[in-house]
Structure 1
C-alpha cells in the first residue's frame, strides 16, 4: 500500500475514533460506571451523562402495590462549602436521623385509547403514582398545611407541579434517566430533574439527580438513595461549581407492604 494512502487512512481512522469518543461522551447512553458503584464512593459524586427521559419510569413487578415508606436522612454533605452552599442546606441538618413516614403506591401504567368511548387499558408496566406519592411525601416533609396539591401533566408523566401555600410553586421536570437490574431482586434508578421554585421575586432554578438502589427482601423493600443538587446555568456560581454537586443527601428507605391494599406480594 502506498505510504500517502496509509497516512490518509490513519488520519481518517483517528478522526473516526475522535468523533466516536465525543459521541459517547455527549450521548446519554454512555454511563461511565455501573450505578451500583456510585454509592461506594459517597460523598465523592460525579455527574453522569444520562439518557434523555422518554415516557415514565418502569419499575419491577415486585414493587407493585401500596407501601408504607419510611425515609431517613443518614448523611449529607456540601462538597463546595464554605464557598458555595445551597439555600436550606444548613436547616436540613436538623433532619439527620429523623425518620419520615408516608404512604406511596406503584400501579400499572394506563393507556388512554381515543375513540367515541375512550377507555383505559393497562400496559403492564409498573409505574409510580407520581401525584399520590408526591403529595404524601411533600406533606410528610413540609406539613399538610404547606402543600396544597401535586399535579402531573396528563400529556407528560415527567412534568410535575407542586402547589404550596402563599402562592408558591415548585415545577419539576424529569429530563434524563437510566436504570439497572443487576439481579432479579435488585433495581437501581437514576433520574435527573430540572426544578423551578416560584414564589419569590426571582425564581430559583437548580438541577437535582436522584439515584436509588432498591432491594427486594421478600417481606419488605429497602433502598439506598442519594440526591445530588447541581446549580443551573443561570446561577452566578455555576461556572465556579465546575459541574460538581453543591449538596448531597443520602437516605435509607424502608417500604413495608400495606396488605389491606390487596396488591402487594
Structure 2
C-alpha cells in the first residue's frame, strides 16, 4: 500500500522542485489543460536544464491546500495503474502543507582578486528540500518519510528516502513554460519515477502541467490548476498497447495563502 500511495503522491513533487528549459508555443499549454481529459500524447517539451524561474509574486512562504478534484483512467478496464482505485478515495479530500520560494544563490566567485561572496540573484526558485519534505510527509506521514536529497550536481534529480529501506527516485527529463496574456504562469514537466524497495522496482513516466494565477495582492493569494498524467514505461508489458496514451489522469486544485 505504501508503495502505490507513494508513487501517486509524489506526482506533485515536481510542482515545487525542478528546473526551467524553454518556452512552449504560445497557448499550447493552456490549450492542453482545457482539453482535459482528452490527452493523447506528451506535449512538446525541451530538455530540462537548471532551476525553474518563478514569477516574483510567488516569493515567500505559503500554506498550500491541495485537493484532488477529478481522476480518469482513459484505458480502463484494459489498463489501470496500480493504486488508481485506492486513490479515488482521496477525491475532494484536501491536504495542506508548507512551501516557500526564495532567490537563487549565485555560484561562489572563484576570482583570486575579488572577495568570495555568496550573492543572491533576482531569479526566484523553489526551496526544493523544504517543499518536497513537507509535501511527502503531508501525504505519507512524518514517520514514513526519512529525508529528501537533491543531487548537488543537478536540481533535476531527487531521492526521497522512506522507512523500510524504500526510496523514490524522481528525475526530470523535459519541460516547458508559458505565460498567458492574462498573467497565468504555466509549466509542464516530464519526469521518470522509480520506486525501489518493494517486491520489484516500479517505473513510470509522469507529466505534470500546472497553471498558476495571482488572485489577490492583499492579502496575497494564488490559485493553481494542475493535471498529472501517468504513462507506462517501455519496460511495462502493456507499453505498446497504451501507444503513448496516459493510463491515469489526476486533476488538482491548489490554493496558496501566506503561512
Q: Which residue of 2 aligns with 1:65?
A: 60
Per-residue deviation, 1:111: 2.2
Poorly superposed stretches of 4+, deviation over 2 Å: 28-33, 114-120
Q: Which residue of 2 aligns with 1:240?
A: 241
TM-score (norm 2): 0.85
CA distance in 2, matches of 1:118, 1:137: 35
Per-residue deviation, 1:201: 3.4
Q: Which residue of 2 aligns with 1:251?
A: 252
Q: Which residue of 1 aligns with 2:203?
A: 205
CA distance in 2, matches of 1:248, 1:178: 19
Alignment root-mean-square deviation, CA: 1.8
Aligned length: 231
Q: Which residue of 2 aligns with 1:6?
A: none
CA distance in 2, matches of 1:56, 1:249: 25
Per-residue deviation, 1:227: 0.3
Per-residue deviation, 1:98: 0.2
Q: Against the structure 1 CA distance between its residues 184 and 63, is the aligned structure 2 distance closer, same or farther, given a 3 Å change threshold? A: farther
SS at match of 1:109: strand
Larger radius of gyration between Structure 1 and Structure 2? 1
Structure 1 stretches lacking a partner, 5+ long: 1-27, 259-265
- Is 1:93 the counterpart of 2:88 in the alignment? yes
Structure 2 stretches lacking a partner, 5+ long: 1-21
Higher relative contact order (CA 8 A, sep 6+): 2
Per-residue deviation, 1:145: 0.9
- Is 1:179 the counterpart of 2:177 in the alignment? yes
Per-residue deviation, 1:232: 0.8
CA distance in 2, matches of 1:41, 1:185: 20
Q: Against the structure 1 CA distance between its residues 161 and 73, is the aligned structure 2 distance closer, same or farther, given a 3 Å change threshold? A: same
- Richer in helix (by share): 1
- Whether contact under 8 Å (1:131, 1:150) holds in the other structure is yes
TM-score (norm 1): 0.83
- Which residue of 20, 29, 38 maps to 1:35? 29
